[in-house]
Amino acid sequence: MSKITVWHNPRCRKSREGLAMAEKVAGEKGLEVEIRKYLDNPPSKDELTKVLKMLGMKPIELVRTKEAIWKENFKGKDLTDEQVIEAMAQYPKLIERPVVIYNDKAVMARPAEKVLELF
């Protein structure tokens, strides 16, 4: 069975909205939803690289640049894409959410309706 994977932070309203939309679509399409609490189970550098390709985004576009971790450690530095990916792998709180993945496509579900673009 195909599944929709959601990189989710339950404390984030936008993430909860994205998950709800993914669950609605999954119900309509007969798919399973896999919830990945990425703060507890962070993606590796390889996973981040693969998902960034699916998203069609540069690494910096997936970073929550307003997070204190970013401001204190990385803001103003000239980082390579690889260094930005390393920062997200080390500090998963920096990853923008929710990321919704289906087959070989992914979207940043902000707004939640972006989930529909996967189908």
Active site residues: 12
Q: Could you please report the per-residue DSSP string of 22-85? A: HHHHHHHHT-EEEEEETTTSPPPHHHHHHHHHHHT--GGGGB-TTSHHHHHHTTT----HHHHH
> What region, left, alpha or beta, does residue 56 occupy, with left being phi > 0 and alpha being psi -120 to 50 degrees?
left
Q: Which one-letter DSSP state was computed for residue 1?
A: -
Nearest Cα to 91, choosing from 114, 111, 63?
63
